A and B are shown apart, each in its own frame.
Chain A
Amino acid sequence: CTSVLAEDSKGVLYHARNLDFGLFFGWDKAKKTWLVTEYLRPTIVNIRFKKSGQTVFMSTHFAGYVGILTALKPGRFSLTVNSRNSLDGSSTLGIIEWILGKRDAVWMGFLTRRVMETADSYAQAKQMLTGTKMLAPAYFILGGNSTMQGCIITRSRNAAIDVWERSAAANHTWYLLQTNYDHWKPPFVLDDRRTPGNKCMMAKGQASMGFKEIFNVLSSIPVLNKLTTYTALMRVDTGEYHSYRQTCKDPCPIW
């Protein structure tokens, strides 16, 4: 997955993501595609969660999955989840503990759903996402509704091991880009979507930032790859939310 938080030169914050899934779950030799990825794409739906007739939040789902991977609470905050693999804190122990009856940790999708339903502000969402014990590690990319809000929360099972704030980002404070590797370490050499993603963000520049250019970045190889199922574009202040099924035509990297 690749998630981007970017602010244009007028102070408008955009949040976007590619959701990549299906690696190693079967390869179609004839079509040169990942099987599960291809079967996931037709299940994608956008949901408006409503209460008393009012929209509480919007999200993109694989139908039948009730948790949240991509969502926007208009005027409040936006959230995307990127997967994180960590040998020292994988979900193995958490799942075993759950089965054995120790249930103080939360399944990722249910935590994010609770955040979208109950948190009323960027700060409250951040507190819930950093402070809740989980069954598996993850990256939470959280956008706010005002200038300089936005952070990437690197989670272990027990706690946030890093919160990367936009205000603290070194060379490019106007955007943050997160793939599936800790931002303070180099990405896996065979799966570097960070460098090309950063290259494209810097080439586009802050002045031209908006849905168009973020979509172009997320449609550039290898940010777009054969695991990409959809691209979502969000803007918290106006509540704009768009998502599009994505496919990557050859020549295209397999991840």
Chain B
Amino acid sequence: AFVPAQFTQECRSDTYPPPSSSEVEWFDVSLDEAPIIRWRHVVARRQSQIRDLLLQFKNFIRQLTGSSVYFNLVARSLTLIAPTVPQPYQDEMVGISTVTGIPLGEILLYNIFYEATNL
């Protein structure tokens, strides 16, 4: 599948407008609502996709390390540091965890993925 960068295609000129099926759906999030509930309607609509994503990541770590122990250890440890996350983000993540049923440590891991992957 690999095409080295030097074998680039010509600059495209026929891709716009993209198909409407690729347009991303809009949601409103009210900053006037309590942080713990303001994301509920968004994550409720995408909870199976979030769950599948985290499951895939969990499987990847299990295959890499040969065990689920490491992922579970990190997720449990993150649950312990969740109270140190600044507000309102802490409450927002608690709310997302509650709606999706995904453990708080995993939601926190998802939210610090940038730093975690950089590490």
Residues on A facing B (Cβ under 8 Å):
25-26, 32, 35-36, 39-40, 42-52, 56, 60, 62-67, 81, 83, 85, 90-92, 94-95, 98-99, 103, 107-110, 113, 117, 135-138, 190-193, 195-196, 199-200, 203-204, 211-213, 215-217, 219-222, 226, 230-231, 242-246, 250-254
Contact = CB atoms under 8 A, between A and B. Distances in A.
26 contacts: A43-B46, A45-B46, A46-B25, A46-B26, A47-B26, A49-B29, A50-B28, A51-B30, A56-B31, A63-B42, A63-B50, A64-B100, A66-B39, A66-B93, A90-B118, A90-B119, A107-B85, A107-B111, A117-B31, A136-B115, A196-B5, A219-B15, A243-B24, A244-B24, A251-B3, A253-B1
Contacts, number: 201
B24 A26 contact: no
Nearest to B112: A107
Q: Which applies to chain A's interface (DSSP): helix, strand, loop or mixed?
A: mixed
B35 to A, nearest CB: 9
B42 A45 contact: yes
Interface size class of B (residues with CB under 8 A): 35 or more
A200 B31 contact: no
B23 to A, nearest CB: 6
Contacts of B30: 50-51
A230 B28 CA distance: 20
Contact of A103 (B53, B84, B112, B117): B84
B65 to A, nearest CB: 13
Nearest to B95: A66
A52 B12 CA distance: 42
Contacts of A91: 115-116, 118-119
